[in-house]
């Protein structure tokens, strides 16, 4: 797979979709109402959105650092990039198959539940809570995060950081929308959760397609001209 601008842009879109799939994962999305109530307990909507933004930034910092580290590691193995693509494509396909429910990967079945027993006060408190939560959520979002990191390993340091920035945006955007629409979240979440199985299957198929294209070196074929 050539490291072209076209391929890079496709990877960014894949990362954005991966972040959205992570947000909709069965161990994050269903608990959204209670999580938001804890995170943004203030009745002032502006303050609620600000805290949600700070929390998202905290998540993003860790994910972006992972992307930078993975991209840097990939640069060190540039002579073996084609082998990384082949192995990475297989790994992504396995993640995709597990996402569809054909089998389970025990480590990725659920995240670590954090005790919601301390009030979040202010920007930096929410930011630090986002950093802590990024580690707690990693097992749960492992398949999609792992897939994006695998793609990052075929690029360079800058692209690794950018890939995980787009991945973080995929989580941040719906989280901020949920904060804006917090009064309706209790109705929206159950309505969407009814289709959790279908969402997982679609997400799994997307990962499988990305894995196949990565193996064949045709990831750029996803571009619609």
pLDDT at 152 over 90: no
Query: Which of 152, 15, 143, 144 is closest to 81 using CA atoms?
Result: 152
Asked if residues 180 and 45 have their Cβ atoms less than 8 Å apart, the reply is yes
* Mean pLDDT on 97-119: 64
Q: Residues 15-21: what's their mean pLDDT?
A: 87
* 6 pLDDT tier (thresholds 50, 70, 90): very low
d(CA 216, CA 148): 17
When pLDDT is cut at 50, 70 and 90, the band that residue 222 belongs to is very low
Mean pLDDT of the chain: 78
* Per-residue pLDDT tens digits for 189-220: 888 888 888 888 888 888 898 888 888 877 65
């Amino acid at each position: 797979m050539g490291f072209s601008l076209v391929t890079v842009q496709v990877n960014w879109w894949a990362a954005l979709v991966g972040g959205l799939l992570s947000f909709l994962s069965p161990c994050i999305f269903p608990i959204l109402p209670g999580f938001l109530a804890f995170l943004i307990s203030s009745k002032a909507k502006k303050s609620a959105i600000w805290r949600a933004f700070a929390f998202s930034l905290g998540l993003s910092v860790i994910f972006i650092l992972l992307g930078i580290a993975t991209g840097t590691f990939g640069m060190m193995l540039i002579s073996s990039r084609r082998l990384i693509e082949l192995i990475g494509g297989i790994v992504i396909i396995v993640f995709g198959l597990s996402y569809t429910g054909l089998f389970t990967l025990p480590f990725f079945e659920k995240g670590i539940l954090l005790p919601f027993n301390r009030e979040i006060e202010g920007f930096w408190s929410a930011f630090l809570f986002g950093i802590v939560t990024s580690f707690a959520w990693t097992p749960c979002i492992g398949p999609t995060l792992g897939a994006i990191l695998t793609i990052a390993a075929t690029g360079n340091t800058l692209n690794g950081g950018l890939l995980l920035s787009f991945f973080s945006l995929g989580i941040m955007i719906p989280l901020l929308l949920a904060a804006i629409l917090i009064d309706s979240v209790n109705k929206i979440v159950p309505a969407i959760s009814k289709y959790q199985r279908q969402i997982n299957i679609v997400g799994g198929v997307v990962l499988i397609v990305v894995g196949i294209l990565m193996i064949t070196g045709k990831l750029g074929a996803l571009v619609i001209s």
